[in-house]
Every structure is written in C-alpha cells, then in structure tokens.
Amino acid sequence: MSRPSALRAALPYLCLVGAMVSLSVGTSFAKTLFPLVGAQGASAYRVGFSALVLCLVWRPWTMRMNREDLFAVVSYGAMMGAMNLCFYMALRTIPLGVAIAIEFTGPLSLALLHARKPVHFAWVALAAAGLSLLLPLGDASLTLDPMGVAFAATAAVFWALYIVAGQRTGHLHGGRSVALGMTTAAVVVAPFGVAAAGAALLNPAALGLGLVVAVVSSAIPYSLEMVAMRAISRRSFGVMLSLEPAVGALAGLLVLGEHLAPRQWLAIALVVAASVGTVATDPSREPAEAPLHD
C-alpha cells in the first residue's frame, strides 16, 4: 500500500482518536473552571456554548417534526444535560479517568442487558473486577469520595438512557437533532449553573474559558467523529470508543496532574477491556451513532 493510500485508510481512525483526546482535554480544562463558577457553572457553559455553536451550524429550526419526534429529541437532550451535569459534579472530587471508568458502566450495562452467551457474562465479571479495584479495601490512600462516585454512577445511568433516547431520533437529521438536543440540555443545566454561580458566570475570563471548553470538548470532537463514522464500521467505532477511560486518565494526568495508583490504572484497563470485549463479541447489535458521551 502506498503512503498516501495508507494515510487515507488511517485518517478516520486518527480522527476518532483526536476526538477522544480533544474531549478529554476539554473536560480537563473545564475542571479548571470549577474555582470560578463551580461544576454547575462549568457544565452550563459547556452545553450552553455548544448549543449556540451547533445551532449556528445546523439551524435546527428548519427541521420538520411531529409531536412524537419533538418529544424524542427533547427527551434525548434532557438525558444529555443530566448526564453532563452529574459527570461534572463527580469531577469535583474524583479524578477524570476514574469518573469516566465509572460512567462507562452505563453503556456497558446497556450492551450486556440481553447477554446470553457465557463470554458476555465474563465481560460483566471483568468490568465488576475493575470497579472493585476502585474501592479502597484497606488502603486509605485510594479512598474515593462517596458523593463523587455516586454522581459518576448517576451519570452512567443517564448515559444509558441518553443512548436509548438517541436511538429514537435515528430517523431525524443527525446534526439538527443533536443541535436541538443540546439546546434542551442547556435549558436543563442552566438553572443549576445560575443558582450556583450567579453573576460569576458573566466574568469575562470565565466566559472566554467556557467558550474554549465548549469548542474543544464538543465542536471539535463532534466534527472529527462525523468524519470517522463515514469510514469506520460501527463495531470498530465502538471498540475504539471503549478506550476513552484510558484517554481520560492520561489527560487528567497531563493537564490536571491527577496521579493514579497502579491499582486504579489496572481498574481502568479492566473496564476498557470489558467494553472492547463486549462490542467485539456481540453480533446482535451495533454501537449507537451518537456523539461522544458528555
């Protein structure tokens, strides 16, 4: 294979890796906003600015929908907003990589809901083993804040519901339905941001950083993902997306200086392996074509 041909073949995969890296780095930067506007304010910035950018690009008001379609898109957006808010609340007290690993149990559980083969139950056991390693179990240095874990677990539930809701919008225009869904998410999250941060949300420095977070964690990943999905099979897409907890852990280390213990790295690796295995060995379903989680 010639070099140009090899590059064209690799480009979609590079785009998907770039999307995961951009999302994780953007989320890491969002965490630096917490001292200024809190997790709620940072979440409001992220979904609010993302909705603005997506609406300018896709003009969702031109999309024709009946009442059922509108309900499906609004439900999808509400789950998206709740997922994002809970995830950011978790990031206040637990590391990024750990939070993503816990949150990833949402789509993983959804994929295994109808598990019948022994190998599927093996993936459940592997994921459970990984999560058990995140518990302190006699090592006080590895203690995770229970409230942070609870928020991450709640985000996992909303991620699963987000996928289910997103599948009901599959017949609609992708970009416009996502734009309208993100607008709904902004409506859901904004009151929490205003209540927590108030006038601090109008701080020029915070506004500028919030816009950067929205672009890096939403606009760029979504665009790269659209390129990747045109050339990568859904199964391969799902397998690669399973690497996100590890990418998040690396971003947390490099951007935020969040050092994880060897046991926590092993836990993340087991969750990633369980997710990869679930997608690779399930012939009955394909990963949903949805934007990278929160």
| Distance, first Cα to last Cα, the chain | 37
pLDDT tens-digit readout, 20-48: 999 999 999 999 999 999 999 999 999 99
pLDDT tens-digit readout, 152-182: 999 999 998 988 888 888 788 778 888 899 9
Give 275-280's long-range contacts (Cβ < 8 A, gap of 24+): 275/104, 275/107, 275/108, 275/127, 275/242, 276/239, 276/242, 276/243, 277/119, 277/122, 277/123, 277/126, 278/108, 278/111, 278/112, 278/120, 278/123, 279/111, 279/235, 279/238, 279/239, 279/242, 280/235, 280/239
pLDDT tens-digit readout, 89-128: 999 999 999 999 899 888 888 877 766 778 878 888 888 8
The structure's pTM equals 0.87
